């Protein structure tokens, strides 16, 4: 399913994002399960706040990591996260 990059995104109901010291990683918790996120996946998902759209997330990341070409990687990951049901349009 393709994602409307101008629409605000939020974590899906039942999903919780938290930093796990023991795993030294952001994890996504859901009923009876957990996904350990890579560093860049954590950077992206922590910017999903119910107000930012995919375009806003990209702009925000570009400001935080100047010089990197993030556009396609972020879109790919957000589409993956959307397909998995982790995030949803507001």
Partner 1 sequence: MTKAGSPLSDTIKPPLWVNAEITYKCPLHCVFCYNPLNYASTFEKELSTAQWLKALREARELGAVQLGISGGEPLMRDDCEEIVAEASKMGYYVNLLTSGIGLTEERIAAFKAGGLDQIQLSFQDSTKEMNDFLSSTRTFDLKRKVARLIKQYDYPMVLNVVLHRLNIDHIEQILQMAEEMEADHVELANSQYYAWALKNREQLMPSREQLEHAEAVCNQFRERLGNKMKLYFVVPDYYQDRPKACMNGWGTVFLNIAPDGLALPCHEARMLPGLEFPNLRDHDVRTIWYESEAFNAYRGDSWMKEPCRSCDEKHKDFGGCRCQAYMLTGDARNADPVCSKSPHHSIVTDQVALAQRAQSTDEEVRPVIIFRDDKNSRAFVDE
Q: Which residues bind partner 1 (CB under 8 A)?
A: 13-14, 16, 18, 20, 22-23, 27, 29-34
| Shortest distance in whole angstroms from residue 31 CB to partner 1 | 5
Q: Which is nearer to partner 1, 30 or 60 (CB)?
A: 30
What is the rounded CA–CA span in Å between residue 72 and residue 33? Answer: 28
Q: Which is nearer to partner 1, 34 or 64 (CB)?
A: 34
Dihedral sign for Cα atoms in the order 13, 36, 56, 75: negative
| Shortest distance in whole angstroms from residue 14 CB to partner 1 | 6
Cα 81-83-87 angle, rounded to 5 deg = 45
């Amino acid at each position: 399913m393709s994602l409307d990059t101008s629409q605000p995104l939020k974590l899906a109901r039942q999903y919780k994002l938290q930093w796990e010291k023991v795993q030294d990683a952001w994890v996504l918790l859901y009923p009876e399960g957990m996904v350990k996120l890579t560093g860049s996946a954590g950077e992206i998902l922590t910017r999903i706040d119910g107000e930012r759209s995919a375009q806003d997330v990209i702009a925000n990341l570009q400001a935080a990591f100047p010089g990197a070409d993030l556009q396609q990687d972020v879109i790919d990951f957000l589409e993956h996260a959307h397909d998995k049901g982790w995030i949803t349009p507001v």
